[in-house]
C-alpha cells in the first residue's frame, strides 16, 4: 500500500483555507490532480487513472479495508476523507466549480437526492442494477443503495438493564433520563438529521405543522447532557457511563459491541423506526471518472456486500447476497412509513429551527 496521510474530520478543519483556494481554481495536496509516476491498473482492459479520491462517513475501518483491497487489485492509489454525510454534501457543494472528489460513498438517500437536484452527481447505472429493488436507487441512477440502516435506541448495558431501557422514542422524554442522554451533533450527521426529522414527521404527515415535533425535540433536549462533535466521542462517553443512552444506527451498535467489546445493546423502537438507504454516487466532473466507476462496482459486488455484512454489520440492498449473518435475518424491524421527498424538502428548515430555537445554549458541542 502506498504511503500517504489519511485525513480525519479534525484534520479537515485545518484544510479549510486550502479548500477555499481550491474552489477558486487552486489545488490541495490531498486531492491534487497532478498525475503520479506509477502505472494504472485495469478494469476490463480499460486503463484507469492513477488515483481516486473518496468522500465517506463510513469510518477508517471500512475505508482502510477497501482501500487496501482496491489498491491491490487495480494498483490505483485510493485517498479518502472521513466525515459526516451532511459534511460531505456541504463540501461537494463548495467544490462544485472545481471538484476534488470522485466518489461519494455513504449517506442517506435524501442527501443524494439533494445533491442530484443541485447538479452535483453524474448518473451511473452499475452492472448489478438488476439486483436492486426500485426503492434502492434513483430513477435516473444518480445514486444507488449499498446498505439499509435501521435507527435504534442504544444503551450502556453495564449501566442500564434491558427491562429498564427505553422501548420507544417517547420513553426518551421520561425525566429519569435527564442528563443521561448523549447525542451526536445532528447538523453534521445524516443519521441524526433523519432521526430528528422522523420525530417531527410523525405528526407533520397529518397536520402539515412541525409544532408537535418541535415540542418533542425540546423535551429531548432537556434530557440531553451533551451533543458530541463526532461519533467516536459519543461512543466513548456512553461506553464510560458519562451518559447511558443514545440514538444511532443499528449496524454501528452491533459492530461496536462485537468488534470492540463496547457495553452496548440496542432496542428497535416498537412504534417503528426510520430505515435509511445508504448510497453511493459518482461526483459530477470527477477528476478520475474511470477509477470512480471501478470503485463503485468494486465495493458493491456480492462478495463485498457479504464482507460488509459479516465484518462491518451492514445490511445489503442487493437481493443476490446469500448466507447473511443471523443478527440480520433474525432482527424484526418495524419500518416507519416515510415520504422521503417530504424529508428532502423540509429537513434543512427543521434542523435550522432546532439549531436556532431548541438546542440548549448551555450545552456546548463537545470537541
pLDDT in tens, 77-121: 999 999 999 999 999 999 999 999 999 999 999 999 999 999 999
Indicate the burial class of 59 (C-beta count within 10 angstroms; 0-12, 13-18, 19 or more).
middle
Whole-prediction pTM value?
A: 0.73
Q: How confident is the model at residue 4 (pLDDT cuts 50, 70, 90)?
A: very low
Q: Which of 102, 87, 20 is nearest to 293 (CA)?
A: 102
Q: Return d(Cα 305, Cα 314) in angstroms, integer.
A: 8
- For residue 183, the cross-strand partners are 227
What are the pLDDT digits (tens) for 121-147? 999 999 999 999 999 999 999 999 999
For residue range 18-76, list pLDDT tens digits in order: 433 344 443 333 333 333 333 333 444 468 999 999 999 998 999 999 999 999 999 99
Map grid coordinates 447505472 to a residue.
125
Q: Compute the distance between CA of residue 70 and CA of residue 105 in angstroms, rounded to an integer.
A: 14
How many residues are recorded in the chain? 367
Q: Which residues contact 90 (CB under 8 A, 6 or more apart)?
A: none
Q: Could you read off the pLDDT of 256-291 as tens digits, one per residue? A: 999 899 999 999 999 999 999 999 999 999 999 999
Topology of domain 150-275+331-366, CATH: D-Maltodextrin-Binding Protein; domain 2 (3.40.190)
Dist CA 148 CA 274 (whole Å): 10
Does the domain spanning 9-148+276-330 belong to CATH 3.40.190.10? yes
Delimiting residues of CATH 3.40.190.10 domain(s) in the chain: 9-148+276-330, 150-275+331-366
Amino acid at each position: 500500500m502506498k504511503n500517504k496521510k489519511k485525513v480525519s474530520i479534525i484534520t479537515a478543519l485545518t484544510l479549510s483555507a486550502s479548500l477555499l483556494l481550491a474552489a477558486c481554481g487552486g489545488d490541495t495536496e490531498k486531492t491534487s490532480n497532478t498525475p503520479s509516476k506509477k502505472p494504472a491498473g485495469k478494469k476490463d482492459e480499460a486503463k484507469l487513472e492513477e488515483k481516486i479520491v473518496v468522500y465517506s462517513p463510513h469510518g477508517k475501518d471500512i475505508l482502510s479495508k477497501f482501500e487496501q483491497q482496491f489498491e491491490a487489485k487495480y494498483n490505483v492509489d485510493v485517498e479518502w476523507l472521513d466525515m459526516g454525510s451532511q459534511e460531505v454534501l456541504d463540501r461537494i457543494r463548495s467544490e462544485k466549480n472545481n471538484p476534488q472528489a470522485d466518489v461519494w460513498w455513504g449517506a442517506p438517500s435524501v442527501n443524494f437526492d439533494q445533491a442530484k437536484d443541485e447538479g452535483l452527481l453524474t448518473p451511473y447505472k452499475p452492472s448489478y442494477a438488476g439486483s436492486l429493488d426500485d426503492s434502492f436507487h434513483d430513477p435516473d441512477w444518480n445514486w444507488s443503495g449499498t446498505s439499509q440502516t435501521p435507527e435504534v435506541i442504544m444503551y450502556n448495558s453495564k449501566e442500564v438493564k434491558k427491562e429498564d431501557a427505553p422501548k420507544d422514542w417517547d420513553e426518551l422524554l421520561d425525566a429519569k433520563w435527564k442528563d443521561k442522554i448523549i447525542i451526536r451533533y445532528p447538523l453534521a450527521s445524516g443519521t441524526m438529521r433523519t432521526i430528528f426529522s422522523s420525530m417531527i414527521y410523525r405528526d407533520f404527515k397529518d397536520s402539515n405543522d412541525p409544532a408537535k415535533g418541535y415540542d418533542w425535540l425540546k423535551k429531548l433536549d432537556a434530557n440531553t447532557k451533551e451533543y458530541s462533535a463526532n461519533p467516536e466521542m459519543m461512543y466513548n462517553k456512553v461506553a464510560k457511563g458519562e451518559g447511558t443512552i443514545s440514538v444511532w444506527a443499528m449496524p454501528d451498535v452491533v459492530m461496536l459491541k462485537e468488534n470492540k467489546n463496547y457495553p452496548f445493546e440496542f432496542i428497535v423502537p416498537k412504534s417503528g423506526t426510520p430505515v435509511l438507504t445508504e448510497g453511493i454516487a459518482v461526483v459530477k466532473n470527477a477528476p478520475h471518472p474511470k477509477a470512480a466507476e471501478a470503485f463503485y462496482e468494486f465495493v458493491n459486488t456480492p462478495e463485498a456486500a457479504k464482507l460488509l455484512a459479516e465484518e462491518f454489520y451492514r445490511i445489503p440492498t442487493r437481493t443476490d447476497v446469500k448466507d447473511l449473518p443471523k443478527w440480520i435475518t433474525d432482527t424484526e424491524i418495524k419500518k416507519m412509513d416515510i415520504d422521503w421527498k417530504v424529508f428532502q424538502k423540509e429537513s434543512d428548515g427543521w434542523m435550522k429551527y432546532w439549531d436556532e430555537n431548541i438546542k440548549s445554549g448551555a450545552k456546548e458541542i463537545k470537541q
